[in-house]
Structure formats: structure tokens, C-alpha cells
Amino acid sequence: MEEHLVDWSRAQFALTAMYHWIFVPLTLGLGFIVAIMETIYVKTGSQEWKKMTKFWMTLFAINFAIGVATGIIMEFEFGTNWANYSWFVGDIFGAPLAVEGILAFFMESIFFAVMFFGWDKVSQKFHLISTWLVAVGSNLSALWILVANGWMQFPVGMQFNPDSVRNEMISFWDVLFSPVAVSKFLHTIGSGYVMASLFVVGVSAWYLLKGREEMFAKKSMIVASTFGLITSLFLVLSGDESAHQVALKQPMKLAAMEGLYEGRTEAGIVGVGILNPAKTLTNDEDPFLFELEAPYALSLLGYHDIHAFVPGMKDLVYGNKEQGIITTQEKMDKGKLAVKALEDYKEAKKANDMVKAQEARVILEENMRYFGYGYIKDPKDVVPPVAPVFYAFHIMVTLGGWFTFLFAALLYLSMKKDISDYRLLLTSAIWSIPLGYIAGEAGWVVAEVGRQPWAIQDLMPVGIAATKIATTNVMISFFMFATLFTLLLIAEIKIMTKQIKIGPNGGH
């Protein structure tokens, strides 16, 4: 497969996914913030809280409307650019996406209408329930797509059928409750909640700096900074579990996240570091130009044991007998056996030789877990691009730390002092809105670039997953999507800022 075609196909999917992830997190989190505010309104009967709820609900609607259906493009891309992948995954992808569409989206849409049009037309209780169900519905949508992505990182609950050349789900529950899927879901929705909280505190901070809507802004600030602080701390816990799962199931990704070439026990985490661009797998250059390490922390994070051995990229490529790590070359040999066995099986079935077919099937099943390695040309190809994964991970974690501090500071000052007096902090809250998006996108870079070269971990490399189509077609569609999404983003920013300038007294 031509390398340019694979790279453009990758770039196209990455572009679509990253733009989609601009709209989704705000929906995930703002839905709950709005539901909390409406709950306070229903409990207190305060018209002030009703006005606040309606204002943030309008911004929720703007984001929802602009973002809706942007994910459909990825489904088209599966069919055009990733045909081998979309067949190979079988019903593993199809089932979660179908549930997403039928259950979650319809639930959102139905109760969305009640949420917007039902004020003073349905009972307070029913309206409140509808608002909560919209929030829950959007998170349920996220569940199914993240279960599908979790399966790509750690394929479970399936059996490969050589007759159909696809994976068949044998346990829906193994797929749904895969520890990678669960930790990914919790961490991803947590990031949405933090991003939404940053959005609300940032907009509230703007009002306070302008000397406008003071009561509204302060109350919104308290709700959002409380929600943001709780979810930031949740993000720390879910991030810890995610890293633990990565250590167990995708150790090469963890090694890239930390720029770890040589594995060791009692491994530390690089808190701050600058990678040495001259460092490669085969030379003896220092991996870092500069690093500040927290001792034992990587062993603790990855394996919950400060003495644990954390494999480096070299151990995973060249093997480590002492630690029981086989070489990538051995995996490639097993993978080639699996691929050959599939061909032998197909030939035997064609010739109606059931004995040979059965023999081939046994070899295939014995080596299936390394199937994808059969397509790897060089053992070093299993190492993902280190710099993007390393820096994205550290940007994400550093920003996460900042957000936790920001929420704590805003909450404390809002409750104990007059937050309006802290203009530098309020300004930093506004600037933290785009930082939230950067952290979210950085997280996806870690997840998906760190997964390379795999489309499905160990089973299918990206080069095999892609369809052979004309590279120019992919390039044209890349720029078309870039244009479409940029226009949508500009429209969202314009409509949002207009509505924010109008303020909570405007219509919806």
C-alpha cells in the first residue's frame, strides 16, 4: 500500500475526529451543568436560576446544533477509506454504533425538544427530567463509541472467523466491560465535564471583568467551579486507571508517553522534559536534552508497584528474557504463520480438503493474537512516533493540574471573598477555555498516535486497514473537510459570542 495514501487517509480521519472532538465535550459536560442549575431552580423556585438555566441551555443548543452529525462523516470514511478495517472488525463496531444511534441519539433528540420548547408547557418535574435525560443521552452516545474505540486498543470478546475473514462477537459483555473501554469512557467523559466547566467559568469571568450580570456570573462560577473541581479530581483517578490499563495492554504506548527507551524497575515519571531529537532506537544518545523526574512514579502509575519493571521501547522491540518479553521479530514470525495459515485454510477449503483446512485453522488460532505482526516489515515499525505522544501526554497532564488549581481557587474566592477583585485570575479563566480544548485534543493524540502502527492493537496495522483508492481523492476530501469544519467552527464561535454578548436576558 502506497505510504502517501495511508498517511493522507490517517490525516483525513484524524482531522475529522479532532474537529468532532471540539463540539462533543461541551455537549457532554454542559448538559449536566444545565441540569444541575435547573434542579436548583426547581428546588428554590428562584426565577434567577431559571434565567441562568435558559442562558446556558441556549449555548448548549448552539454547540449541539453545530456539532450534530459531524460524526457521520467518520462513518462514511470507514466505508470509503477503511474498507478492510470496517469488514475485519465485523459486528464489534456495528453493534455499539447501532445502539448509539438508536438509543442514545433518539433519547437526546426527543427530550431535547421538551427541554427547549416545553418551558411552562409541561410540568416542572417533567421538564427537569427531560433536561437530565438529554445530559444522560449524550453521555450514553459517548459510551458506545468509546467502547468501540476501547476494543481497537484491546480487542476482546471476539473470535476470528477465517471463512468470513472477520471478527465475530462472542461476548457482548466482554466488549462492553473491557477494562480499557471502561477506563477510556470514564476518563473521556470526565474531560468533557472539565472542558464544559472551564467554558462556564471562563464566560462568567468575562461578565465579571466587564462589570456585567454580576449575580448571574458569580452563581454560575460557583456551580461550574464545584463541578469542575470534582470532575478534575475524578479525571486524576480515571487517568491513573487509564495509564494502568495502557501499561498492561499497550506497554509500547506507555514507553512512548514517557520517552522510555531502556526499561527499568522503580521507574520514574518525567515531569518536565525535552526530548533529544537525535535519539533513535538503535543509537546510544541520551533520550532527553533536559528532564526532571519524579522517582518511582512511573512504576507506581503503570503497575501500582514502585518496584515494578516498566519496559522501554528497546525491551519491547528486541525482547527481554529476564522480564519474559518476547522480541518483536518472534511476534512477526508468529504473525506470518497466522497469515499463511489463513491462506492455507482458504486454499484447502477451495479444494475441499477438510483435513488440511482443519490443520491450517489450528495454526491460525494458535497464532491469531499476533496476526497483525505478519504485516510488519521491520521490528522498529511497532514504535509509534515518540515526540507527539510524549509532548501530548505531558501537555495534557500539566494542563489538567492547572485546571484543578484554577477551579479550587475560583471556588474558594467565590465563596469566601469577592471574586470580582481577582482580575488576573478571572483573565486566566477566560484563557483556560481554549486550553481545555488543547488538553482534550492532546489526550486523543496520546490515545491514537500512541496506538500506531495499529488500527487494531496487534491484529491489524493501519497500512492493511486502509482501502486502496486514489491518493488525490483522499487529499481533495481532506481539504474539503478542513474547509467545512472550519466554517462550522467559525459559525459556532460567532453565534456563541453574539449570544454571550446579549447575555442572560436575551431570547432563545
List of residues contacting other proteins (CB under 8 A): 58, 61-62, 65-66, 68-70, 72-73, 76-77, 79-80, 83-84, 86-88, 113-114, 116-118, 121-122, 163-166, 336, 339-340, 342-343, 346, 374-375, 464, 467-469, 473, 476-477, 480, 484, 488, 491, 495, 499, 506-508
Based on CB atoms, which residue is closest to other proteins, 405 or 479?
Answer: 479
C-alpha cell at 478: 481532506
Phi then psi for residue 165, to 5 deg, are 55, 40
Please tell me the distance from the alpha carbon of residue 65 to that of residue 87, in angstroms, as a whole number.
31
Based on CB atoms, which residue is closest to other proteins, 163 or 366?
Answer: 163
Secondary structure of 253-264 in the HEC alphabet? HHHHHHCCCCCE
Q: At closest approach, how far in Å is the CB of 430 from other proteins? A: 22
Q: At closest approach, how far in Å is the CB of 508 from other proteins? A: 6
C-alpha cell at 397: 497532564
**Cα 268 from chain centroid?**
25
Hey, which bits of 15-63 come out as E strands? none
Compute the C-alpha angle 209/212/214, nearest 5°.
90
Based on CB atoms, which residue is closest to other proteins, 77 or 441?
Answer: 77
Q: At closest approach, how far in Å is the CB of 365 from other proteins? A: 16
**Hey, how many other C-beta atoms are within 10 angstroms of the C-beta on 400?**
21
Q: At closest approach, how far in Å is the CB of 98 from other proteins? A: 14
Is the separation of the CB atoms in 382 and 328 below 8 Å? yes
Based on CB atoms, which residue is closest to other proteins, 77 or 315?
Answer: 77
**H helices of 385-470, where?**
386-416, 423-449, 462-465
The β-bridge partners of 143 are: none
Q: At closest approach, how far in Å is the CB of 68 from other proteins? A: 7
Please tell me the distance from the alpha carbon of residue 96 to that of residue 152, in angstroms, as a whole number.
13
Q: At closest approach, how far in Å is the CB of 417 from other proteins? A: 35
Of 69, 54, 55, residue with least CA distance to 23: 69
**Cα 289 from chain centroid?**
30
Q: At closest approach, how far in Å is the CB of 408 from other proteins? A: 34
Phi then psi for residue 78, to 5 deg, are -55, -45
Based on CB atoms, which residue is closest to other proteins, 50 or 244?
Answer: 50
Q: At closest approach, how far in Å is the CB of 481 from other proteins? A: 8
Based on CB atoms, which residue is closest to other proteins, 102 or 491?
Answer: 491
Based on CB atoms, which residue is closest to other proteins, 11 or 495?
Answer: 495
Based on CB atoms, which residue is closest to other proteins, 258 or 344?
Answer: 344
Based on CB atoms, which residue is closest to other proteins, 408 or 469?
Answer: 469
Place of cell 459556532: 492
Hey, which bits of 231-308 come out as E strands? 264-265, 269-275, 288-294
Q: At closest approach, how far in Å is the CB of 209 from other proteins? A: 24
Based on CB atoms, which residue is closest to other proteins, 306 or 488?
Answer: 488
Half-sphere exposure of residue 175: CA atoms within 13 angstroms, side-chain side: 27
The β-bridge partners of 269 are: 294
Based on CB atoms, which residue is closest to other proteins, 306 or 469?
Answer: 469
Break the chain down into helix, strand, coil percent, rounded to 5: 75, 5, 20
Q: How far is CA 5 from CA 127, 218, 387, 472, in A?
A: 50, 52, 23, 9
The β-bridge partners of 293 are: 270
Q: At closest approach, how far in Å is the CB of 149 from other proteins? A: 20
Q: At closest approach, how far in Å is the CB of 370 from other proteins? A: 14
